[in-house]
Structure formats: structure tokens, C-alpha cells
Structure 1
Amino acid sequence: MPRRSIKRDFAIAVVIAFLLAAAQIYHVHVGANANQKTQRTRSKIGDVVAVESNRHGFSTIKFLFSALVAAISRSRSVSENLTGATSLPHATLQNVFYNRLAKCGSRSLLTLAGYVARSKGINTESSLNYGDEHPREKLALEEMQYIAGLKPPTFYDRHIHYLDFRKYGLQSPIYINMIREPISRFQSKFNYMKYGDAEERAQPRNLSDINKCVMDDEAFCRSPIMTHYYTKYFCGFDPICKDMSSMEGVELARKHIRDDYLVIGITEEFDNTVRLLEAAIPEFFGGALETWGVIKATLMNRTKTITKDVLNEESVRKLRQVVLYEDYIVYEEAKAKYERLIEEYRIL
């Protein structure tokens, strides 16, 4: 059970205990029900406690103790019911770091986060370095030091590979991300680079048809922004991440996803991703789903690609089995984490 929720239950229990105890003492002093009848009542935290009306001094202490014990018991039982006796990951007022993947719905999530953050008085910062996703080690360390030095609560985003804050003795922020089905991302990225989108944020390139590009192994379709993208992104800056032909990098990427990300959403399930963020980080995302309902239609029209090349079955097969093979392994790890959290937080 999150520490925030436990503290809340304690506070509720204490307030209710004192209020009801005071009422009970008053009741005794006016002579009402001085017998040994036991009254039973249900507090706002859902726990039944007993108050013995004829022993107001002892009853007050017993009531307070019972309420606190009940709060602890309820907190533990909720945690066990949700997670099998394992506490859910939950944010405190730390900084949130969204090291956003490209063409995975990041503009939508950033816009939403901005609206919600402003309504809560939370600071937001976006890196202006859009192109260097894998800077030199010195620059990566400087970026980590900058993020670690931000005053909480701050929502910070950048297109950058996974950063290992603990390796350098730095406080790690709350990591979040969004990931997209790999072939869907491949096609979206290709069309974005070839045609731009409704906001014309990309400079259109003179690229061949997407299927020719895939089947002929043209340079663009084998470039780092198209292949091994998820693997490199979540692997980070460890030396083994340089060799994407090795499964060591894939396994390290999977480990980082399992151990270091509070939430990884799925682009194709954006609404449920927002619900998950609301549940996992209410300090930042509480009320986000309602806001998303207001801005969704306008935002989706702004970010969609107007013209598209479409992959044929042969190209899809080659991408799935060869070109994007490692990325699918990483994607499945992220998807499994997402589905587990959806179940644990009872989103569906």
C-alpha cells in the first residue's frame, strides 16, 4: 500500500477517533445510556470498532487504539489483495522523468501532462535537445546531474536513452514512458520522415516506397532511428548496449523496464494508460482522464500523418521475424509490465 495512503488512513482514523470519543464522553456526562451496552459504528476507512459507553475513560483509549489498528489492518489487506502481499509501486513527491520514445504518442502525453501540471501548480520542463538521444558519457552525466537537481515536484522530458542515475550516486527520478507496437511505430516513423504531419514538424525526405525500402534493405530502413530502437533506448549507456547483435543488450533493456520504470504505457491503449498514470502517480496525473476527454479530438488531428505508405504482408513478415526481432522482445517485456499494472491497479 502506498505510504501516502497509509498516512491518510492514519490521519482519518485519529480524527474520527477523537471526534467520536468526545461525543461519547459528552453522552456519558448527560447520563444517556450509562449501562454496559456496546455500540458499534463504521468509520470512513471502512472498519468496525467498538465503543463501551459506560467506561468513558478506558473507552476513549481503547477506541483510539482500535481505530489505528484498524487503519493498519485495512492498509495491509488492500495491499495484499491488489498485489499478492507486495506493495504497489507508487510515487511520492519526487520528480517525474519521461525519457520519451519518438513516434509513440509522446506529444499527446506531453500536452496532457502540461495541462494537468498547470492546474496543480507543478513545474514542467522540456529539453530543447531533440536530436541527440545518445550523447557522450560526459554530457549524459551532466544531464543526470541537472535532472537530479530539479526541485520536486517537476515533470521533465527528453528524447534520450535510459540513464542510470544510481551508477553515479544520484537520486533517480520516477521513470515513465510510452511504447508502441514495433511495426506500427516503424510505419509511422517512416511516413513522418517522408511526408511530415499535420503540423509539418518533419522536413519531408526523398524516400522510396516503404516496401521497397524494407525488402531492399535500404539504408534508411536499417538506420538507428528505425531498427533496434527500443533495445538501444532501454539498454542505455552500458558498453554492452553498443552491440545490438548481442542478446546481452536486450536482456539489460528488459531488466531496466522491469526494475526502474514505474509506468510504461501502451500507445494503442492511451486512455487506459492515462488511467494507470492517474492511479500510480495521482500527485501528478490526478484528473488527467477528464482533461484528456476535452483535448483528445483536437490533439489527435494535429499529430496525425496526412499521407501514408502502407506495409504489405511480405514486408510485415520480414520486419517481425528479422529486422525488428530484438525490439519485439523488449516491447513484449514492456507490454507485460503494463498489463500487470493494469490488473494490479484494477483499471479494467
Structure 2
Amino acid sequence: MGCSQNDYLIFLFDITLDPRREAGKDLEDDVVIIYNRVPKTASTSFTNIAYDLCGKNHYHVLHINTTKNNPVMSLQDQVRFVKNVTEWREMKPAFYHGHVSFLDFTKFGVKKKPIYINVIRDPIERLVSYYYFLRFGDDYRPGLRRRKQGDKKTFDECVSAGGSDCAPEKLWLQIPFFCGHYSECWNVGSQWALEQAKYNLVNEYMLVGVTEELEDFVMMLEAALPRFFKGATELYKTGKKSHLRKTSEKKPPTKESIAKLQQSTIWKMENDFYEFALEQFQFVRAHAVREKDGELYLLAQNFFYEKIYPKN
């Protein structure tokens, strides 16, 4: 049985921390994963897997709900969050998820950092999905009224008219989410932000997948972190929730609209970051997964220990 997302509401920054630590506690029980999910990258589909597995695999799932979905925390909230994540013993092991930009825990003097994971998407496909999501919602909560509901203008019509909701500046999202809580990260078109995002992806994230190859991402997480993701691959393939959320009334953009967006420097930078992430993911996958007869399977352990001294 999974953990319902509606079981209870926890005010994340108002908890009472227990300073005591259980003697002999398993190291795996002290693990914290943070999934700072980028909007419209299949994040709800993936998070539903975590909710379905948390009861069976004995861990906690916590949604980081920020005011007005602001991905940047105040300094005082950063301190509270770091303290919660590292010291909230009753909630470990834990899987945190929310639309929050990367936060460097080392700045706050912690000894053990959380494990970061994420998923990104082709930047134009992500923007198109978000554009229609704001107008028509999705099949996850079909009755919920969205911010742009009633606006029937297609994405192509928006691009043709030079509308703000489809402007190249709206592509600038995945880079700042990985760049973090620095002011330069949110300066649209910043080359420094792009390089910092790449640095963080390689050095601070255990694994970053892509929406287009989500099953491979799930499979690799199950192999690397079975404490959390045992059973995830089968659930992804057969579960009702894993493919649940689909944006309604979405129309693919024309080649002309795509070409117009691709002329912008912002698209080139976001696409550069996406292709960098895709190459890294495919590199990691090539050393972990093989395909046979149309089925993927994980490679067995291919290292061992020898010449162990002193001999008993």
C-alpha cells in the first residue's frame, strides 16, 4: 500500500526536531533524496511512483510546497529547510520533492548532503506542454480551473503574434533550476548560469534523466537505490498512476513556430543544457543497461575485491 498524498499536511518549517539518534541505525535509513522537479517534465508521473512505493519500501515522501510556487527560498527558509532535511530523524529515510531550485547544502556546514536527482525535457516541448496546461489543465485534476482558462489561442498563434506566454524568455527555466539560489542564475541568457547548471548537474546530482526516456531513468534508480525504488520499474510499466498526467488539448507546434523559437539565444542555451544532460544520461546508461530482444536489462556487478591483506 502506498502513501496517500492527502494523508496529512506538515508545515515543513515549523517542526520540532528530535536531537536523539537511534543506536545502530542502518545507514540506509539516514538517506535523504531531493527531487527538485522542473514543471512539465513528467514530474507528477514519476513522483506518483514514489508515493506508491513508500509504504512498501518504508520511507517518507514529503512535498515541498512554496508560496506561489516560488522556486527561490529566502535565506531564512534555506536555513530552516537544511536543518529540517538533515535533522528530522522521524522522517528518515525521506524523499522530498517540489518545484525548488538547487540548494547547495555545503554552504550551511552540514556533514552529509542529500542525494539530488532530477528529470529534464526538450525545452520547446516543455514550453508547449506548459502553455496548454495553463489553459486546459490535464487529466490529473480535470476540474481544477487553470490560470489561463478560457484563452483559446493556440501556441502557434501566440508565436505568430509575439505573445508573452510563448516568448523565448519563457524557455529559461531548466538552467536556473539547476543553477540554484544565486542571483545570476535567474538573469535570462546568462552564460555563467549555464556553466554553473552544467557543473551542478555533473557534480551535485546522482542521476538526471530525460522525460523522453523516463523508463530507463526509473530502472537505473531502482538498481542504484533499491531502498527507495525496489519495484519501481514494474510499477512504471503496469501501474495506473505512472502515465496518469497528460496535458489536455495540446497541439504540436508547426515547423515555423519551432524555427522562430530556435533563432533565439535563449533557446540555444537551454537546448545546449538539455543536450549536455542527455549526453551525460546516455553515458551513464550505456555503462549500466543493455538491450536484448527489445527488452532492457541491467548489467551485473562487474567489479570485485582481491589481494586482501593482511590475511587472517
TM-score of the alignment, normalized to the shorter chain, above 0.5? yes
Question: How far did residue 167 of structure 1 move?
Answer: 1.4
Which residue of structure 2 aligns with residue 109 of structure 1? 46
Cα-to-partner distance string for 1:190-218 (whole Å, 9 max, x where unaligned): 11011111222451514432123224332
Instruction: Give the letter for the 1:160 counterpart.
Output: V
Which residue of structure 2 aligns with residue 100 of structure 1? 37
Which residue of structure 2 aligns with residue 12 of structure 1? none
Query: Do structure 1's residue 317 and structure 2's residue 262 form an aligned pair?
Result: no
Q: Work out which of the two has the higher radius of gyration on C-alpha atoms and give 1 or 2.
A: 1
Specify every segment of 5 or more residues in structure 2 that has no aligned partner in the other structure, as ranges. Answer: 1-27, 292-312
Question: How far did residue 139 of structure 1 move?
Answer: 2.3
> Distance in 2 between the 1:285 and 1:299 partners?
14
- Kindly indicate which of the two structures has a greater share of residues assigned to helix: 1
Structure 1 stretches of 4+ moved >3 Å: none
C-alpha spacing 1:166/1:181, structure 2 compared with 1 (3 Å): same
C-alpha spacing 1:191/1:172, structure 2 compared with 1 (3 Å): same
Aligned partner of residue 257 in structure 2, secondary structure: helix
Aligned partner of residue 303 in structure 1, secondary structure: coil
Which residue of structure 2 aligns with residue 190 of structure 1? 131
Instruction: Give the letter for the 1:181 counterpart.
Output: D
Instruction: Give the letter for the 1:254 counterpart.
Output: K
Aligned partner of residue 227 in structure 2, secondary structure: helix
Specify every segment of 5 or more residues in structure 1 that has no aligned partner in the other structure, as ranges. Answer: 1-90
Match of 1:328 among 271, 275, 285: 271
Question: How far did residue 105 of structure 1 move?
Answer: 0.8
The aligned length equals 255
Aligned partner of residue 119 in structure 2, secondary structure: strand
> Distance in 1 between the 2:154 and 2:36 partners?
31
Query: Do structure 1's residue 346 and structure 2's residue 289 form an aligned pair?
Result: yes
Which residue of structure 2 aligns with residue 209 of structure 1? 154
Structural mapping, 1:251-262, within 5 Å: 251-262=195-206
Query: Do structure 1's residue 174 and structure 2's residue 115 form an aligned pair?
Result: yes
Question: How far did residue 320 of structure 1 move?
Answer: 2.7
C-alpha spacing 1:202/1:186, structure 2 compared with 1 (3 Å): farther
Which residue of structure 1 aligns with residue 102 of structure 2? 162
> Distance in 2 between the 1:142 and 1:215 partners?
45
Structural mapping, 1:146-161, within 5 Å: 146-151=84-89, 152-161=92-101
Cα-to-partner distance string for 1:302-327 (whole Å, 9 max, x where unaligned): 41122123311111112233152221
Aligned partner of residue 148 in structure 1, secondary structure: helix
Match of 1:137 among 71, 75, 79: 75
Question: How far did residue 144 of structure 1 move?
Answer: 2.5
Aligned-residue Cα RMSD (Å) equals: 2.1
Aligned partner of residue 220 in structure 2, secondary structure: helix
Work out whether residues 175 and 261 of structure 1, in 8 Å CA contact, stay in contact via their aligned partners in 2: yes
Work out whether residues 232 and 253 of structure 1, in 8 Å CA contact, stay in contact via their aligned partners in 2: yes
Name the structure, 1 or 2, with higher relative contact order (CA <8 Å, separation 6+). 2
Work out whether residues 95 and 155 of structure 1, in 8 Å CA contact, stay in contact via their aligned partners in 2: yes
Question: How far did residue 346 of structure 1 move?
Answer: 2.4
TM-score, normalised relative to structure 1: 0.68
